[in-house]
A and B are shown apart, each in its own frame.
Chain A
Amino acid sequence: MLTLIVFLPLAAALALVALPRLGDPQARWAWVAVAAVDLALVVVVWARYATPPAGGLAFEERAAWMPGVNSSYHIGVDGFSLPLVAMTAVIFLACAVHALRERHRPRIQAALFLFLQSVSLGLFVAADLILFFVFFDLSIVGMYFVIAGWGHGNRGHSAMKFFLYTFLGSLALLVGFIGLYVAAEPHTFDIPELVAAAPLAGRPPRWRAGAGRDPGRPGGEDPHRPVPHLAAARAHRRAAVGSAVLAGVLLKMGTYGFVRIALPMLPQAWRAWAWVVIVVGVVSVIYGALVALAQTNVKRMIAYTSVNHMGYIALAVGAAGLVAADTTQARTVAVTGAVTQMVSHGLITAALFLLAGVLQDRAGTYDMGAYGGLATPAPVFATLFAVGAFASLGLPAFSGFIAEFQIFTGSVAVAPVTAIALVGILVTAALFLRALQEVFTGETRGHSLGFTDLRSSEVWSVGPLLLLSLVIGILPRPLLDVIEPASVAVVDLVGR
């Protein structure tokens, strides 16, 4: 079942490449159809999902792959991966719908995005480090071509920069994986087995510090590391669907690596470095918010709010490492909040990037100063953008609130000083309100004159993402019921 979900888009991508005579409209609709079928399959998996025992996986599949190094094709879902798999399928479907109006080589674009969908889904279900790495590296290759082929500005340069940074990060990751492999007895790359073995537990702390931090570094994908986030922000000079996928899905690979690999496999190292992670998290929350506030370019502003939002996740997983008596529940809440935030941020940021893409599409600029009073000619656009902005700043009734509320409840209970990150929420609120005011209110002027409102493909791509965020915000229970058992398990493991 999972194999089908992962490889269906890839098969479709190959078919699209192999059929050059296919017309552009057919290619676009084929993409939508495949993405929809894939989402339907994910819904079926979700419906039949039963929480596996701690340390286990549901819908597990395993086949020999490289027996010589104990690496197998091992996939499965648990409370962390299932929500991200679902989010990935939703975002890619939204992108497919949004791209129905794409005129620039739609067939190749569809193939490339289907390929990216396959590798993203594969990464989230991988239960083997090498499989994880393979999908991770392929996502970089795929994204390189998305940026180089459909970006704007000096796209060759930003694509190359993105590729080099993330490739460098991925090799650091691989070195860490090999370290884990060598440290485990018997040597293995299997994630559940490594989790059970906690390979570096008995080693001196220095050794752990060196090898232990690597798995927490799934490369430049993780934008709260200071240098790569600049690359991430620059890489956003690209078409809307590319940004939506990068920010919505690919950025989650890094934070997913934390909860899937770093926390459970390296509990001692994680505890030793918890404060570092927390500080990085708090700094990126505040720094990301402040830099976003200084932007006049809508797209860059959204890119930097991603830095801010991913900071909350780092804060929460860092807090999970502060093991002390009576804090188990608080830490569980923090981890649950972190995973909820991954899903929530994916949905909301993808929606915002797709909306920002509309500005570029209509008027050719993202500059806030070039617009004004846009609400009059484009009321639907204004409404959806406002909804997205409020969801992003963490207004109650949206998924962002559920996530950030849990993160702060958990983190502040463990370490009260983390409350300073609340400033980030305030700044985010300010910057979104300022952006809304500047672009949508006042007298209609500049590029706002003659601005065409959202077309149906745009409404139907952005709308469902925001609607889903609203549904999670109002009825969070189904999502939290899936995540919480996994959080309990991982907090247990960190406490080892």
Chain B
Amino acid sequence: MDAEMRMRPLLLLPEMLLFVGGLGALICGSFVPRQRQWLIRVLTAVVLIAAMTAAAVQLAGPAQRAFEGTYTIDTATGVARILAAFGTLLVLALAAEEIAGSARESETYALLLFATTGTVVLAGADDLLVLAAGFLLASIPLYGLIGLVNTTAGAEAAMKTYLMGALFGIVLLLGVTVLSGVTGTTMYEELEEGLARAPAAAVAVATVGVVAGLMFKAGGVPAHFWIPDVAQGSSATVATFLTTVPKIGALIAVYRLVGVLPDTASWPLLVALFAVASMTLGNLAAYWQNDPRRLLGWSTVSQVGFLLVPIVVTGRSNLALPSLLAYLAGYTVTNIAAFAIVAALPDRRNLAGYRGLATQRPWLAAALLVALLGLVGTPPAAVFVGKLTTAAAAWDGGYSWLAVVVFVNTVLSLFYYLRWIVPTYRHADADADADAGAAAQILGRRRCPRAPLSSRLRSASPRVSPPGPSGTWSASIRNRGAASTFFRCTGN
């Protein structure tokens, strides 16, 4: 029996640390008095740092596989472990202020650790069943995290996430079933040869299913509807975590999966379509938002589109994986920074409320400027490196049109980030029409006071219709009143 085929559980030390840390936080939290809950926070931080250290040590070594080849520990897994733990650590710093002393403090930390473990497992999975387990481990804590907020919006967000998650979980399992059915195996290594002989249509359907399921975790089209609601309705801690950390695992999982697909399935085009749809829809929807957190939520949808671009050229360009990891790293810090600024100003719930921030809190305004321009991809911010290398990878891999789409969408995204930056750098007494609407004026549109699209997209659908054309969703607008009642009932 060669080394590949043995269990070697110690290779999974970071995952084990995270999971056991979560259990520890949950159990210890029950015995620690509420004013001492900071102990649990310290425990969580220590666990995260330990996991990062263990991951860094393993990253220095060669790529290895554990659990009979179902789990890979390579650069991608290593970076995912470090990024996910680091992102959670940053979220923890954010949480300290928001939830310290609240009734559900230790539970939050435990759920954060579980969700982080799930994300890391997703990233390392080299087997369809491990993938499915990682998906569930990453999803279920999220429902709890979102539901911890005791508000109507929070309940709506939790319900919506749960229903979307259940649906896309089933879609993912369907894809997994078909893939293992046509090949007789669940291990990626064996899938590769099995799929080459499998019927192309079955492979294509299964691929769509698995990728769509993973899109739920990543928060990309077509499974993105829960993202803006969560960004708006849940606590800042949870919103920050959900829009950042799960994406790391989901996207690396997509990267690994497409790596074993045969050319007969024309998966690059499929992923390219997901990418274009995500970035374009995210950008167009973000433009109409007036709530900064909702705007950020939509912006993360568009970022998933950008993050999918290097995956399209997996195997065609040497830059694919490095650019994906670089973009993920840049995105993680930038997005958390943007959410942290919003969390620091909880009473400013619309863009106009940011007017005059530059004079009142100059450092916070400067940080916001850096974070938002960073999300646009203005150099020398980190996301710029990601955007540059992903576009270069796409072009290098023969998808020059995708590189152009990336930059066209970057211009689109600039408009709504500017709608936020401009009032921030206006004096509080400046003329109202001159600022927030400036971007809109340039587009040749009047300022939209009612934000019709936003309210439309915010409206919950009473039934979970398949994520088909937007018509299905807009058809449910008529039921909006019923929908809110429904959610209010279920939420309380």
Residues of A within 8 A of B (CB): 66, 68-69, 130, 133-134, 137-138, 141, 145, 148-149, 154, 156-157, 160-161, 163-164, 167-168, 171-172, 174-175, 178-179, 181-182, 187
Name the one of A66, A69, A160, A171 contacting B442, with C-beta atoms under 8 angstroms.
A160
B267 on the A face (CB < 8 A)? no
Q: Are B400 and A179 in contact (CB under 8 A)?
A: yes
B358–chain A nearest beta-carbon distance, Å: 10
Question: Using a CB-CB cutoff of 8 Å, which residues 376-400 of chain B contact chain A?
Answer: 378-380, 384-385, 388-389, 391-392, 395-396, 400
Contact A68 to B319, CB < 8 A, known contacts A174-B407, A182-B396:
yes
Q: Are A182 and B418 in contact (CB under 8 A)?
A: no
Q: Are A182 and B379 in contact (CB under 8 A)?
A: no
Question: Using a CB-CB cutoff of 8 Å, which residues 409-425 of chain B contact chain A?
Answer: 410-411, 414-415, 418, 422, 425
Closest to A66 in B: B385
Q: Are B422 and A156 in contact (CB under 8 A)?
A: yes
B448 on the A face (CB < 8 A)? no
Q: Which chain A residues border B322 with CB–CB below 8 Å? A: 68
Chain-A contact segment, one of B280-288, B431-439, B458-466: B431-439
Name the one of A130, A141, A168, A178 contacting B403, with C-beta atoms under 8 angstroms.
A178
Q: Which chain A residues border B384 with CB–CB below 8 Å? A: 134
Q: Which chain A residues border B418 with CB–CB below 8 Å? A: 160, 163
Q: Are B442 and A138 in contact (CB under 8 A)?
A: no
Contact A178 to B378, CB < 8 A, known contacts A160-B438, A160-B442:
no
Q: Which chain A residues border B319 with CB–CB below 8 Å? A: 68-69
| Residues of B contacting A: mostly | helix
Residues of B within 8 A of A (CB): 319, 322, 326, 373, 378-380, 384-385, 388-389, 391-392, 395-396, 400, 403-404, 407, 410-411, 414-415, 418, 422, 425-426, 430, 434-435, 438-439, 441-442
A-B residue pairs in contact (CB < 8 Å), sample of 16: A69-B319, A134-B380, A134-B384, A138-B378, A138-B380, A145-B425, A156-B438, A157-B442, A160-B418, A163-B418, A167-B411, A171-B410, A174-B388, A174-B391, A178-B391, A178-B395
Contact A175 to B403, CB < 8 A, known contacts A145-B425, A164-B414:
yes
Name the one of A69, A137, A160, A179 contacting B389, with C-beta atoms under 8 angstroms.
A69
Q: Which chain B residues border A182 with CB–CB below 8 Å? A: 392, 395-396, 400
Q: Which chain B residues border A156 with CB–CB below 8 Å? A: 422, 426, 430, 434-435, 438
Apart from A66-B389, A141-B378, A171-B407, 19 more pairs, CB < 8 Å: A68-B322, A68-B326, A68-B389, A69-B319, A69-B392, A130-B379, A138-B379, A138-B380, A149-B425, A156-B435, A160-B422, A160-B438, A163-B418, A164-B415, A175-B391, A178-B388, A178-B392, A178-B403, A179-B400
Closest to B322 in A: A68
Name the one of B379, B403, B415, B439 contacting A137, with C-beta atoms under 8 angstroms.
B379
Q: Are B442 and A134 in contact (CB under 8 A)?
A: no
Name the one of B326, B407, B414, B426 contacting A175, with C-beta atoms under 8 angstroms.
B407
Q: Which chain B residues border A154 with CB–CB below 8 Å? A: 434
Name the one of B392, B404, B410, B439 contacting A160, with C-beta atoms under 8 angstroms.
B439
A137, A148, A174: residue with the most chain B Cβ atoms closer than 10 Å: A174
Q: Are A157 and B438 in contact (CB under 8 A)?
A: yes
- When chains A and B are docked, how far (Å) is the Cα of A179 from the Cα of B391? 10
- When chains A and B are docked, how far (Å) is the Cα of A389 from the Cα of B228? 58
- When chains A and B are docked, how far (Å) is the Cα of A145 from the Cα of B438? 15
Contact A168 to B411, CB < 8 A, known contacts A178-B388, A178-B392, A182-B396:
yes
B342–chain A nearest beta-carbon distance, Å: 22
Number of A-B residue pairs, CB cutoff 8 Å, is 78
- When chains A and B are docked, how far (Å) is the Cα of A68 from the Cα of B319? 8
- When chains A and B are docked, how far (Å) is the Cα of A133 from the Cα of B391? 15
A19–chain B nearest beta-carbon distance, Å: 13
Q: Are A134 and B379 in contact (CB under 8 A)?
A: yes
B371–chain A nearest beta-carbon distance, Å: 14
Q: Closest 3 A-B residue pairs measured CB to CB?
A: A134-B379, A171-B407, A160-B438
Q: Which chain A residues border B422 with CB–CB below 8 Å? A: 156, 160
- When chains A and B are docked, how far (Å) is the Cα of A107 from the Cα of B388? 34
Name the one of A137, A149, A187 contacting B396, with C-beta atoms under 8 angstroms.
A187
- When chains A and B are docked, how far (Å) is the Cα of A395 from the Cα of B426? 45
Contact A157 to B392, CB < 8 A, known contacts A145-B425, A171-B407, A178-B403:
no
B438–chain A nearest beta-carbon distance, Å: 5
- When chains A and B are docked, how far (Å) is the Cα of A138 from the Cα of B411? 16
- When chains A and B are docked, how far (Å) is the Cα of A137 from the Cα of B379? 7
Q: Which chain A residues border B426 with CB–CB below 8 Å? A: 156
Q: Which chain A residues border B441 with CB–CB below 8 Å? A: 157
Q: Which chain A residues border B395 with CB–CB below 8 Å? A: 178-179, 181-182
Closest to A187 in B: B396
- When chains A and B are docked, how far (Å) is the Cα of A149 from the Cα of B384? 26
- When chains A and B are docked, how far (Å) is the Cα of A179 from the Cα of B392? 8
- When chains A and B are docked, how far (Å) is the Cα of A161 from the Cα of B434? 13
Q: Which chain A residues border B378 with CB–CB below 8 Å? A: 137-138, 141
A165–chain B nearest beta-carbon distance, Å: 10
Q: Which chain A residues border B379 with CB–CB below 8 Å? A: 130, 133-134, 137-138
Q: Are B411 and A171 in contact (CB under 8 A)?
A: yes
- When chains A and B are docked, how far (Å) is the Cα of A181 from the Cα of B441? 37
Closest to A210 in B: B400
A181–chain B nearest beta-carbon distance, Å: 6
Q: Are A167 and B414 in contact (CB under 8 A)?
A: yes
Q: Which chain A residues border B411 with CB–CB below 8 Å? A: 164, 167-168, 171
A234–chain B nearest beta-carbon distance, Å: 12
Name the one of B388, B407, B434, B442 contacting A130, with C-beta atoms under 8 angstroms.
B388
Q: Which chain B residues border A138 with CB–CB below 8 Å? A: 378-380
Q: Which chain B residues border A167 with CB–CB below 8 Å? A: 411, 414
Closest to A173 in B: B407
- When chains A and B are docked, how far (Å) is the Cα of A165 from the Cα of B412? 12
B176–chain A nearest beta-carbon distance, Å: 34
Q: Which chain A residues border B425 with CB–CB below 8 Å? A: 145, 148-149
B429–chain A nearest beta-carbon distance, Å: 14
Q: Are A161 and B414 in contact (CB under 8 A)?
A: no
Closest to A71 in B: B388
Q: Which chain A residues border B407 with CB–CB below 8 Å? A: 171-172, 174-175
Closest to A134 in B: B379
Q: Are A141 and B434 in contact (CB under 8 A)?
A: no
- When chains A and B are docked, how far (Å) is the Cα of A252 from the Cα of B438? 28
Q: Are B373 and A141 in contact (CB under 8 A)?
A: yes
A255–chain B nearest beta-carbon distance, Å: 22
Closest to B376 in A: A167
Closest to B391 in A: A178
A68, A149, A156, A187: residue with the most chain B Cβ atoms closer than 10 Å: A156
Closest to A130 in B: B388
- When chains A and B are docked, how far (Å) is the Cα of A59 from the Cα of B365? 38
Q: Which chain A residues border B442 with CB–CB below 8 Å? A: 157, 160-161, 164
Q: Which chain B residues border A161 with CB–CB below 8 Å? A: 442
- When chains A and B are docked, how far (Å) is the Cα of A179 from the Cα of B426? 39
A114–chain B nearest beta-carbon distance, Å: 16
A108–chain B nearest beta-carbon distance, Å: 9
Q: Which chain A residues border B414 with CB–CB below 8 Å? A: 164, 167
- When chains A and B are docked, how far (Å) is the Cα of A130 from the Cα of B392? 12
A237–chain B nearest beta-carbon distance, Å: 13
- When chains A and B are docked, how far (Å) is the Cα of A154 from the Cα of B437? 13
A372–chain B nearest beta-carbon distance, Å: 34
Closest to B430 in A: A156
- When chains A and B are docked, how far (Å) is the Cα of A453 from the Cα of B384? 49
